[in-house]
Amino acid sequence: MSGTHIRMNRATREWVIYAPSRRIRPQDFQSKQTEVAPEANQMASCPFCKPAGEFKETILLEIPNSDGGWQTRVVANKFPALSPELKPKRSLTGIYLELPGYGHHEVVIENPDHLQNPAKMSIEEVSAIIETYRQRYLELITVRDNLFIIIFRNHGKRAGASLQHPHSQIIATPIVPRHYRWREDEAQRYFDEWGRCAYCDTMEFEIEDRQRVVGENEQFLAFIPYAAEVPFEIWIMPKEHRADFGTITPTEVVAFARLLREVLATLYTRLQNPDYNYAIMSAARYKIGEPQLHWYCQIHPRLTTPAGFEMGSGININPSLPEADAAFFNGLDEVDL
């Protein structure tokens, strides 16, 4: 199979998506130094700065702004990793399991301004982004073959962003990643043993302990996990137990947007606009009503580079203590540990 498709590793049961259409030529993998194009040139060639007329056939959702224009816009990815035109029928190639690359791959254009940044947007602008996520998530989760939906943002080249214009992405897949099933299984084991949600217990302890809390409002808590994988990893979690991001209410949309914007703004000022990834971790399809699962937003700044030990062992080496990171984030340059 030479087109977009998905293969399973027989030994680990982990899935890999193959999207040859996203690679232009083998030389694209070569390391090379390039000069940064002037901002005017970037804006002139930016596909997300196009007038609405050029997006007529691919605009999936548009939220208007107060001036009669658009605030956010969702389009089909021009170079998708997965395609809704395919059928997710599994088959064997020898001993190996594979299926066509079915799925949805969408781009959320977060703002009409090419030079904007969520860390500097208004609460209303960030709320429009979260509302866009909510609407597209609810649409995609109704599609029978979509078993897993991930909403994510890549900020900066080290995080995988190829365009400066503020944008994030949504991908729906017909398979659930093995590492995500593992998280679900661990949450199930905890619930079976204690009768409680492990995420709720974690959040309650962090609220009381306060050492790693970096932001809070009535509906959400932001904290650096006790076992953070990377420096300044941050989770934003709803205080009310919810497994499914799609259940977020209009009031919670604004509250989530307010805290997300606050966290990103502090990262921007305290760490000089670092590259980062964030992802909204919601329950897989058919698990959205489970009492042991809890959705949250995970932010990973790209401040360190994983090396051979991390690859070989699966264990991260974090050179920075979460408590020290939280203190620095909160404006304390030194902390007694």
Query: Which residues carry out catalysis?
Result: 167
Nearest 5°: the CA angle 21, 135, 6 is: 30
Structure token pair of residue 298: 């995970």
**Cβ contacts of residue 181 below 8 Å, gap of 6+?**
284
Helix (H, G, I), strand (E, B) or coil at 104: strand
Give the whole-angstrom CA distance, residue 52 versus residue 212: 44
Relative orientation angle of helices 250-270 and 123-141, to the nearest 10 degrees: 120
Q: Measuring CA to CA, how many Å separate 218 from each of 117, 176, 207, 308, 311? A: 25, 32, 12, 42, 39
Query: Whose structure tokens read 């064997």?
Result: 92
**Spatial separation of the C-alpha atoms in residues 298 and 315, rounded to whole Å:** 18
